[in-house]
Amino acid sequence: MERSVKTLMDLSGRRALITGGAGHLGQVMAAALMECGAEVLIADLTTERAWEAAERLMAEQGGRARWVGGDLEQPEGTDDMVRFVEREWGRLDILVNNAAFVGTSSLTGWNVPFDEQSYESWCRAVQVNLNSVFQVTRRMKPFLMRSEAASVINILSIYGICGPDLRLYEGLAMNNPAAYGAGKAGLLQFTRYCASCFAPAIRVNAITPGGIFRNQDPRFVERYADRTPMRRMAKEEDFKGAIVYLASDLSAYVTGQNLVVDGGWTVW
């Protein structure tokens, strides 16, 4: 008998790890998975950040959220995640590689024109945005293999599939570091590689978000909206449907794909 859509999206009994889970997008995706019945492990830079996010999610959403710290710039950054999954769960059904190095305006050699961008900042960004995804996925694969419906979801960026429109940043204290887009582009190829190698036991897909509104300079927001067919920046909740779709049996025959949620930015 064919299952209903409601049944296909049911994640009851499934366990999900979200890196960068205490961030804006991470918490929204966690909330969406919890709403569909999943138990979620929030992994973030520090245990305190992860704990605060998990507590907030349980208070607002109900369900169960756990927490673990891990600095993905460091070689040992995945150790506590592995220990938790091995000790508490024994298997993993959903892995969301969401953690990202986005830098700050105060970071030397980051939020500046290309000729001023530093090798150190490049390495830090690539470490988190690409190298750590390899490490997390590699170490979680044995646990994913124990699931009957394993799904890996990598979070990319429009700047991983197209070049930046630098006109958006003219006259603003904002810029577009080369390392960010390069790391995200590499992550897309890694998604395809893993989809090919892990099938049929584990599905591997990606979500490519467009720019998300977070109180940026009004001039940037206006320029971004003018360049976007949907005439606005994204909201966090715009990604709830995408994460539930790729995490659940709604996409049971989907692997190696990149779901672009960008308001039409990349059509031009």
Q: What is the CATH number of the domain that holds 189?
A: 3.40.50.720
Range of the domain at 258: 5-267
Give me the pLDDT at residue 53, please: 98
pLDDT per 10-residue tile (average), the chain, 268 residues: 95 98 97 98 97 97 95 96 98 98 82 94 96 98 98 98 95 93 98 98 98 96 98 97 98 98 96
When divided into structural domains, the chain yields a total of: 1
State residue 105's pLDDT score.
Answer: 63
DSSP-derived secondary structure for the chain: -PPPHHHHT--TT-EEEEETTTSHHHHHHHHHHHHTT-EEEEEESSHHHHHHHHHHHHHHH-S-EEEEE--TTSTTTTHHHHHHIIIIIS--SEEEE-------TTSTTTSS-GGG--HHHHHHHHIIIIIHHHHHHHHHHHHHTT-SSEEEEEE--GGGTS---GGGGTTSS----HHHHHHHHHHHHHHHHHHHHHTTTEEEEEEEE--B-SS--HHHHHHHHHHSTTSS-B-GGGGHHHHHHHHSGGGTT--S-EEEESTTGGG-
Q: Please give the pLDDT value at position 136.
A: 98
pLDDT of residue 107: 85
Task: Give pLDDT, residue 153.
Answer: 99
The confidence score (pLDDT) of residue 103 equals: 78
